[in-house]
Amino acid sequence: MKIAHADGEWFRNEGQFPFVDAENGVLYEPMVAVKARATKWLEMQSAVIKRIPDPLVAAAPEVAAPKAPVPEVPKLKVEAPKK
């Protein structure tokens, strides 16, 4: 994962070779998520360099909803057998 521009969008190079954006100099390594500003050059490479969802949000664990409290079961009285 690489962040070139904190205010950018997430992209991933789906190809097998690295590409360098000619407009801003950002390197897109194969299969590495990169946060960068979109450029005209990048838009023209959309067949290989794809816009992806934020991997930091996708990696966050889901918080389970709290379980409903278990109702208390009344205790049974057990008496000793009478002689």
Q: What is the domain partition of the chain in residue ranges? A: 2-58
CA dihedral 32, 37, 39, 42 (to 10 degrees): 10
CA dihedral 5, 6, 12, 16 (to 10 degrees): 40
pLDDT recorded at residue 19: 95
pLDDT recorded at residue 58: 61
pLDDT recorded at residue 3: 94
Strands 33-36 and 2-3: parallel
**Reported pTM:** 0.68
Tell me the pLDDT tens digit for each residue of 13-72.
Answer: 999 999 999 999 999 999 999 999 999 999 999 999 999 999 888 666 666 666 777 778
CA dihedral 22, 27, 30, 36 (to 10 degrees): -90
Residue 37 burial by Cβ neighbours in a 10 Å radius (0-12, 13-18, 19+): middle
